[in-house]
A and B are shown apart, each in its own frame.
Chain A
Amino acid sequence: MYENKGNVKVTGAEGEVKYSYDNLLSASVNATWQNTVNHTRYAANGKEEATYLNKIPNTPWFFFNTDLSIGKNNIWKEGTRLQFNWYSQFVHWFYLTWEAYGDVRGKAKIPGQYVHSASLSYSLDNGKYNFSIECRNLTNALAYDNFRLQKPGRAFSAKIRYFIH
C-alpha cells in the first residue's frame, strides 16, 4: 500500500559491483540506501502536517543482494556445465509507522531479514538440457513482505529445462 503524498523528497544511493573470472567464478553485490521524507507541509484543512519532514514509514530504506556462482564447463562430457549459486538478500528492519512518534518500546517494526538461497545446476548439450535443484531460504529465516505478512520459509525445488531451439 502506498500513499500518494503531494510532496515527497527521496535522496539515496545505489551501487553494484560485479566480478568474474574466466568461466569459473562470478560474484556481484548491489546495495540501495534511500531516505524518503514527507515534504507535504499542509493538510487539506490548512493545518501544518505533524509529519512534515519525517521519514515516510513502512518503507525499506537499506537493502542489498549478493550473488556468488562457481561453475565449470565440460565436466565428464563436452558441452556440459556444472554450476553452484549462492545468493543472499538483506533488508534492514524498518518501522511500520512514523519513526519520530511513540515510545520506542511499543513501536511496531518489520523485522530485518537476511535470506540465503542456493542452487546447483547441470546443463548438457550447450545448455539445451538443464537440470537444477534449488533451496530458497536455506536458514528458514523469518522474512516479510509487509507487516505480519510472512513470506514462505525454507523451500526446495527441482527443475528440468529443455530448449526446443
Chain B
Amino acid sequence: MNKLIYRSLFLLTVILAPFAGCKKKKDTNPNPDNNTPYSAMVAIGSWPNTAYYIIDIPSLTEGTVDLRGNGAEMTAELYAQDVLQKNGYYYHANAGAGMLGKYHVEDGRLITDQKIPFTTLDWSSYTWIDDNKLAIFGTNGDQNEGYYAIIQTSDMRVLSSGKLNLLPLPENFSRYSIGFAEYRDNKLFLSYGFGSTDWSQYPLMPVHGETYIAVIDYSSFNVEKSLKGAQLKGMGGPTVYAPTSFIDENNDLYFISDPVNIYDYNSPSVIGRIRSGSTELDASYSLDFSAATSNGMGAAIWYLGNGKAIVRGRVAGQSIDAEHYFAIVNVHTGSFIKKLDLPADMGERMVQAVIVENGKAHIAVNGQQKDYIAIYDPATDTLTEGAEFVGGVDYILRLEKKR
C-alpha cells in the first residue's frame, strides 16, 4: 500500500508540471483608432444577454457596417449606453460603482485609459466648456439635491464640483429631474424640474406644473436665477443619451421639451429660445411641435444650420418606449417643415441618432426591415440612403463623429 501512495504522489507531480501560468501583457499605448472618422454604438441580444459594441464606420454615405467579427465589445468594461465621445475617447460615469472612466478603442478592443473614484453625482446632462473641460450635472443618490462637476479630461482630474442652489423641492415632490445643459458666455444654462419617487402611482405620477432653467455663473457656480416659461413642461433627457438643446450660429440657445418624460400626458412638446446675450427666455417665441405632429413629443433635437433642425419625435401616448420618427423644423421662423419619409424608427427611447456634417443630417434608422444611415440634405430637400448595417443589429444606440 505504501508503494501505491508513493506512486500516486509521483503521478501527481508529473500532472502538476504542465500547469505553469501565463501573464497577459499590459497595454501601454493608448491611441484611439481614429483612422475611421465615425463610430456607432450598437446593441445585440435581449436582456440579460444584451451586449454592447463600438464599431468604426469608414463612411456614412456608402458601404456596409458588419458587426460579425468586427467591433469592440463593451460588455465587460463599459456596460452602458450613456457614453460620451470626443476626439475618439469615450467617457462614462458609473454612479453604482462610483467611478468615472475614460476609454478608447484600439485593435478591436475597448481599452480603459483611466478610471477615477467619482461619487459626487449621478449624471444626467453635460456640456463641453472646451475640448478638455467637461461639465456634468446630476443629482445625489437620493435625487433630492442637484450637483455639478467640471472634469479635465486629459488627465481625468475633477477641477471643481459642488451642490447647486436650485429652487427647493416643493411639498409632495421628492426628486429633481435634470434636463439639458449648455455653456455660453461664461454662463451655464441647466434645465430642471421636480418629480415624485412614489412609484406606486405609476403611470399617473404627480406632475409638477413648472419647469425651470437655471442660469449659473461659470466662475462661482452660483445659480443666479431660475427661469420659468409658461409652456415649458418637462425638459426631456437625460441628455447623456441624446441632446435636447443646441446653440446656433447666432449664439441663440434652443431647447425642446418632452412632457411625457415627466409623466405629463396633457401638455405639448415645445421648442423655446434664449437669445444671444440674454439670460431670459424669449417670451415672444414658441414652436409647438405637438400641434404639428398629432400630439407627438420631441425626444431629441440636432441643429443642421440655417435655422433648420431635425427632431427625433415620438408618437403620441403615455409611453416613451414607442415608435419614433424624424421631422424638420425651422427654429428661426418657429415653424414646422415636414416629417421625413423614413421607415418607423423601432429604436430605443433615447438615441444619439444624428451626425450633422456639411449641413446634412446623417440619421441612424432602426427600421423593421433594415438598419441604415439615411442622409437628409435640407438644401435640396432630398433623402438618400447611406451605409447599411448588415448581419444583424438589434439597436443602433449612438452615432458618433470622432474627428
A interface, CB within 8 angstroms of B:
1, 3, 5, 40, 43, 45-52, 56-58, 70, 72, 75, 82, 84, 86, 96-98, 100-108, 116, 118, 138-139, 141, 147-148
Give Cα distance in the complex from A10 to B53, angstroms. 27
Give Cα distance in the complex from A40 to B47, angstroms. 13
Q: Is the interface of B mostly helix, strand, loop or mixed?
A: loop
Q: Which of B1-16 contact A (CB under 8 A)?
A: 1, 4-5, 8, 12, 15-16
Contacts of B53 in A (CB 8 A): 101-102
B interface, CB within 8 angstroms of A:
1, 4-5, 8, 12, 15-16, 19, 44-49, 51, 53, 67-73, 75-76, 107-110, 346, 368, 391-394
Whether B73 and A75, one on each chain, are in contact in the complex, defined by CB atoms closer than 8 angstroms, is no
Contact of B392 among A1, A50, A102, A104 (CB under 8 A): A50
Given contacts A102-B53, A102-B71, list 10 more A-B pairs with CB under 8 A: A45-B368, A50-B392, A50-B393, A51-B394, A56-B49, A57-B51, A101-B68, A102-B69, A103-B73, A106-B107
Whether B19 and A141, one on each chain, are in contact in the complex, defined by CB atoms closer than 8 angstroms, is yes
- The total of interchain contacts (Cβ-Cβ below 8 angstroms) comes to 114
Contacts of B46 in A (CB 8 A): 3, 5, 40, 43, 49, 51
Contacts of A100 in B (CB 8 A): 68-69
Give Cα distance in the complex from A91 to B47, angstroms. 25
Closest A residue to B347 using CB positions: A45
Give Cα distance in the complex from A160 to B154, angstroms. 61
Give Cα distance in the complex from A138 to B392, angstroms. 45
Give Cα distance in the complex from A72 to B392, angstroms. 61
Whether B109 and A103, one on each chain, are in contact in the complex, defined by CB atoms closer than 8 angstroms, is yes
Whether B8 and A86, one on each chain, are in contact in the complex, defined by CB atoms closer than 8 angstroms, is yes
Contact of A84 among B8, B47, B68, B109 (CB under 8 A): B8
Contacts of A107 in B (CB 8 A): 73
Contacts of A116 in B (CB 8 A): 15
Contacts of B368 in A (CB 8 A): 45-47
Contact of B110 among A50, A96, A106, A139 (CB under 8 A): A106
Whether B69 and A58, one on each chain, are in contact in the complex, defined by CB atoms closer than 8 angstroms, is no
Whether A102 and B51, one on each chain, are in contact in the complex, defined by CB atoms closer than 8 angstroms, is yes
Closest A residue to B321 using CB positions: A45
Contacts of A49 in B (CB 8 A): 45-46, 392, 394
Closest B residue to A82 using CB positions: B1
Give Cα distance in the complex from A50 to B392, angstroms. 4
Whether B49 and A3, one on each chain, are in contact in the complex, defined by CB atoms closer than 8 angstroms, is yes
Whether B51 and A106, one on each chain, are in contact in the complex, defined by CB atoms closer than 8 angstroms, is no
